[in-house]
Amino acid sequence: MNTGTDDLAARWAQIRRRVDDACREAGRAPAEVTILPVSKTFGPPLIRAAVALGLHRFGENKVQEIREKSAALADDGIDWVMIGHLQTNKARDVARLASEVQSLDRLELAAALHRQLQHAGRAIDVLVQVKTSSEPSKSGLPPAQLPSFLDALREYDTLRVHGLMTLATHSTEAAEVRGCFRLLRALRDQAVAQGHTLPRLSMGMSDDFPLAIAEGATEVRIGSAIFGARA
């Protein structure tokens, strides 16, 4: 019976080739860019098939999905990465189940995560999500607030700040999309000059990752190009 996993290996190999090609086109080594498979809306059987291919980190947009899938796949050694907008009242589940949050965008959330992580006796990696697009639907910290936000995060030793994340504007104009990625890299470089260590830039998805790689992405978040079309 076809469970939807038949073409998974081929899609994974294809997206890895495309990412490697984009790296070479940008004059970068393929080893510089990792792929975060985004498994939102896809069920445990397909994720388990991805684990069989050697994948162990998966991005999710909703805490409820992390909660349900982590229970169903408890023995598969998966690291769950929260990439969607996170409400403070969901901090407890994230502190318990996630290995990383890429959507940290306000001090209220940082404080909530810190409290819950202290209770859990854990620390997790975080990326600060910055709003580089003018679209109202996009979440993220306003760029002008990034320096003071990064300084304030030093108070929370359970949050290991490793870089920045963004969602580019949804546009067919490559220059507009690329501008979002270029802004994030510039903000990172400014923060590094001010003493912060931020090696990671999570930017680019299935439709725009070559532009993100050209602008310095160290990780691209790929869903449908790996798992297939969503229902």
More confident residue, 215 or 2: 215
Q: Which two tokens stand for residue 9?
A: 């290996």
Q: Is residue 32 part of a domain?
A: yes
Q: Is residue 61 part of a domain?
A: yes
What is residue 231's predicted lDDT score, i.e. its pLDDT?
73
Model confidence pLDDT, tens digit, residues 55-96: 999 999 999 999 999 999 999 999 999 999 999 999 999 999
Q: Is residue 228 part of a domain?
A: no
Q: Residue 38 has what DSSP assignment? A: B
Measured CA to CA, the distance from residue 143 to residue 188 in angstroms comes to 10
Q: Is residue 98 part of a domain?
A: yes
pLDDT, average across residues 137-166: 97
What is residue 3's predicted lDDT score, i.e. its pLDDT?
47
Q: Which two tokens stand for residue 117?
A: 């992580």
For residue 2, what pLDDT band results from cuts at 50, 70 and 90? Answer: very low
Assess whether pLDDT exceeds 60 at residue 1: no
Q: Is residue 28 part of a domain?
A: yes
Model confidence pLDDT, tens digit, residues 33-62: 999 999 999 999 999 999 999 999 999 999
What is residue 137's predicted lDDT score, i.e. its pLDDT?
85
Range of the domain at 113: 8-223
What is residue 67's predicted lDDT score, i.e. its pLDDT?
97
Three-state DSSP state, 127: strand
Q: Is residue 86 part of a domain?
A: yes
Average pLDDT over the chain, rounded to an integer: 95
Q: Is residue 99 part of a domain?
A: yes
Q: Which two tokens stand for residue 81?
A: 């990465």
Q: What total number of domains does the chain contain?
A: 1
Assess whether pLDDT exceeds 70 at residue 163: yes
CATH code where residue 86 lies: 3.20.20.10
Q: Is residue 30 part of a domain?
A: yes
Spatial contact of 184 and 130, defined as CB atoms under 8 Å apart: yes
Model confidence pLDDT, tens digit, residues 7-38: 999 999 999 999 999 999 999 999 999 999 99
The whole-angstrom distance between residue 224's C-alpha and the CA centroid of its chain comes to 15
Spatial contact of 78 and 103, defined as CB atoms under 8 Å apart: no
C-alpha angle with apex 65: 64 to 67, nearest 5 degrees? 65
Tokens 């030793």, located at residue: 157
Spatial contact of 72 and 44, defined as CB atoms under 8 Å apart: yes
